[in-house]
Structure 1
Amino acid sequence: MESTQLRLARRPVAEPDETTFETTTATLPALEDGQVLLAVRYLSLDPYMRGRLSTAKSYAAPVEIGQVMVGGTVGEVVESRYDGLQPGDLVLSYSGWQSADVVDGAAVRRLDPDAGPPSTALGVLGMPGFTAYAGLLEIGRPQPGETVAVAAATGPVGSAVGQIARIKGARAIGIAGGPAKVRALTEDFGFDVALDHRAPDFAEQLARATPDGVDVYFENVGGHVFEAMLPQLNKHARIPVCGLVAGYNASSAPAGPDRLPGFMAAVLTRSLVVRGFIQDEFTHSHGRDFVRDMGEWVRSGQVRYREDVVDGLENAPAAFAGMLRGTNFGKLVVRVS
């Protein structure tokens, strides 16, 4: 079987463009015992992928030039030489940006067809949903009556953070870009307050919306949103740092004065807890509870989700670049086949 593959052609400077990836066709090897042949149905596009294009030191090795771009996928078993899987089964794999793959059967997870649409295994019931669940509950630890704020709040992580916060009895403030996304925060996801970070008076709006301060700020963005948030953080506020997407395409240091001393002074004088995390460090402690809780919340409607589906593997590069600019609306997935 042949696989259409998108491989890293060159490392981008600033924003990825049409020269970043190249399309190739590869003939897959015959199956060995313990392996399965997958037809990739859905590909997840996520902000962390921008870091994998760089050789800068990080928590994971970079994608090498000429290597298939990494990414979570939902695949359908076409052929199996693994006892636990049979043709027609849907599985969660890490096949990356390609149309087919040969993998070890033990390295994939069979999906429950009754849990939800297959694509949700890449979103609310998958890594993004778990990121929100574990990061908020382990680091943020929202208490009833507290205020939880989150940026990129219509994305798969941010939308889940706000809804989980409300389930736990906290007040949820969502920050997004543009009127349509802001409306969705209250109308679709049930946030208490929705703010547009593109508004010229965003900082003033945030201050008015948080007269009692912010107890948990789930950081997905950085940049000017964090600058506006810092003065609102209460004593003992918790800041789970999940992402800093505002700076992922930066090719130089930000302009202006050094703000680090002021930030460190706030950490000291207000006893702030700032904790970066990668979701897989909580798999052992929170994985089983996440499957139980999020599955029930989605089934009951307590947690809603939104997907932004792009058709065709060839459109993945443009969709990926747009996601880094914030053009997607909801969990971004590519329907490969």
Structure 2
Amino acid sequence: MGEMVQNKQILLKEYISTGYPKESDMVTQVSKMSLNVPHGSHGIVVKNLYLSIDPFIRYRMSKSDRGYIDSYTPGQPIEVYGVAKVLDSGTPKFKKDDLVWGFTGMEEYSFITDADSLFKIEHTDVPLSYYTGLLGMPGMTAYAGFYEVAAPKKGEFVFVSSAFGAIGQLVGQFAKLLGCYVVGSAGSKEKVDLLKNKFGFDEAFNYKEEEDLTAALKRYFPDGIDVCFENVGGKMLDAVLVNMRPHGRIAACGMISQYNLEKPEGIHNLLDVITKRLRFEGFVVFDYYHLYPKFLELVLPYIKEGKIKYMEDTAEGLESAPAAVLGLFSGRNVGKQVVVVARE
């Protein structure tokens, strides 16, 4: 069995049918775990350092067979993206003390059977926590959705819904670096101000203060929207469709407004997709991970030159993870939500 340790874990208690998650939906347990890879296994044992709290967690807390990714299993550690240090390896792909990012467990230590799903961290001259966001799944999602799906051109008009999230804040900066006009929506005055003053958006608005979202978008885009990076769905998406320009593109990344509803809201303005010859394409980041080296070539110089800004909202200790999940859906976090399990 090798060296054994106490392993604190956060488990899903049972499936959530509707509504927002509660801390009682997640339970903490301590179990024993070996720090050695079982004989013949090609997996790895890791010590988790940073965990990423993302909207898809709520999606996977419901039992569904319609998704692009499996639902969680009640009684098992919640699977999230994270940054970890390799303690033992059964594959030549990784060796002891390597740093990796990818899917891991909401726990102190994890045995990851599918080591091929992980990325080795080669660039350690930036904060390791960045690999939960800017240099991890959210960053790669922003890159794939904006450059590969939306195919923007210099001078176009770009709208980013839920722009203050880990993905949205980066999409807006990509658009500005390309020479586009960019507007984002967020849920508080503080976030609106940060979008404009820190992340360089041309304009931003608090969607909670707008009685008419269609009119709000018309105010900021009098000539219409060329590219929408869609994270919200529902009423926001309906308003976007009315304001799109002919031959516009919508890159559908998420529908966060719908995840906690018993019955998803209908979309009423789909005729605009036809009359304006819009391209409305959903995408999943898994399909674009082969472009990760290309993404790093673009983003790392921007980070080092100070051309991309980034904010993290850090919660200390694994025990803070359930509250961090709840905070994500109430808009409490300011920046990318990260849980620090241990520091390297």
Is TM > 0.5 for Structure 1 vs Structure 2?
yes
Question: In the alignment, which residue of structure 2 is the partner of 1:97?
Answer: 106
Instruction: Please tell me whether residue 238 in structure 1 is matched to residue 273 in structure 2.
Output: no
Post-superposition Cα deviations, 1:279-324, rounded to whole Å, max 9, x if no partner, equal 111223x322111101122122222111111112112112112212
- Aligned with 1:216 (options 212, 227, 248): 227
Question: In the alignment, which residue of structure 2 is the partner of 1:205?
Answer: 216
Q: Is the 8 A contact 1:4 1:23 kept in 2?
A: yes
Identity %: 33
Question: In the alignment, which residue of structure 2 is the partner of 1:264?
Answer: 270
Partner-residue secondary structure (3-state), 2:104: coil
Which range is displaced more, 202-211 or 235-244?
A: 202-211
Q: Is the 8 A contact 1:9 1:22 kept in 2?
A: yes
Question: In the alignment, which residue of structure 1 is the partner of 2:59?
Answer: 51
Q: Is the 8 A contact 1:195 1:206 kept in 2?
A: no
Q: Is the 8 A contact 2:101 2:136 kept in 1?
A: no
Q: Is the 8 A contact 2:258 2:264 kept in 1?
A: no
- In 2, the alpha carbon distance for the partners of 1:59 and 1:86 equals 31
Aligned partner letter, 1:321: L
Partner-residue secondary structure (3-state), 1:92: strand
Partner-residue secondary structure (3-state), 1:323: helix
- Aligned with 1:225 (options 223, 231, 236): 236
Instruction: Please tell me whether residue 9 in structure 1 is matched to residue 26 in structure 2.
Output: no
- Aligned with 2:84 (options 65, 75, 84): 75
Q: Is the 8 A contact 2:59 2:259 kept in 1?
A: yes
Instruction: Please tell me whether residue 116 in structure 1 is matched to residue 92 in structure 2.
Output: no
Q: Is the 8 A contact 1:131 1:157 kept in 2?
A: yes
- Aligned with 1:299 (options 292, 299, 304): 304
Q: Is the 8 A contact 1:41 1:74 kept in 2?
A: yes
Partner-residue secondary structure (3-state), 1:152: coil
Partner-residue secondary structure (3-state), 2:204: strand
RMSD: 2.0
Cα gap change, 1:253 to 1:239, in 2 (>3 Å): closer
- In 1, the alpha carbon distance for the partners of 2:212 and 2:324 equals 27
Q: Structure 1: 5+ residue runs without aligned partners?
A: none
Which range is displaced more, 140-149 or 85-94?
A: 85-94
Aligned partner letter, 1:118: L
Question: In the alignment, which residue of structure 1 is the partner of 2:286?
Answer: 280
- Aligned with 2:199 (options 189, 192, 198): 189
Which range is displaced more, 292-301 or 223-232?
A: 223-232
- In 2, the alpha carbon distance for the partners of 1:214 and 1:86 equals 48
Aligned partner letter, 1:291: L
Instruction: Please tell me whether residue 173 in structure 1 is matched to residue 179 in structure 2.
Output: no
Q: Is the 8 A contact 1:10 1:19 kept in 2?
A: no
Instruction: Please tell me whether residue 39 in structure 1 is matched to residue 43 in structure 2.
Output: no
Which range is displaced more, 9-18 or 193-202?
A: 193-202
Partner-residue secondary structure (3-state), 1:23: strand
Post-superposition Cα deviations, 1:63-110, rounded to whole Å, max 9, x if no partner, equal 111121110111123455655655543221422210112335944433
Cα gap change, 1:35 to 1:244, in 2 (>3 Å): closer
- In 2, the alpha carbon distance for the partners of 1:72 and 1:189 equals 24
Instruction: Please tell me whether residue 328 in structure 1 is matched to residue 333 in structure 2.
Output: yes
Partner-residue secondary structure (3-state), 1:25: strand
Question: In the alignment, which residue of structure 1 is the partner of 2:150?
Answer: 140
Partner-residue secondary structure (3-state), 2:84: strand
- In 2, the alpha carbon distance for the partners of 1:217 and 1:32 equals 48
Post-superposition Cα deviations, 1:210-249, rounded to whole Å, max 9, x if no partner, equal 1111000100012332233222111111000000001111
Q: Is the 8 A contact 1:165 1:172 kept in 2?
A: yes
Cα gap change, 1:327 to 1:173, in 2 (>3 Å): same
Which range is displaced more, 78-87 or 291-300?
A: 78-87
Partner-residue secondary structure (3-state), 1:61: coil
- Aligned with 1:61 (options 63, 67, 70): 70
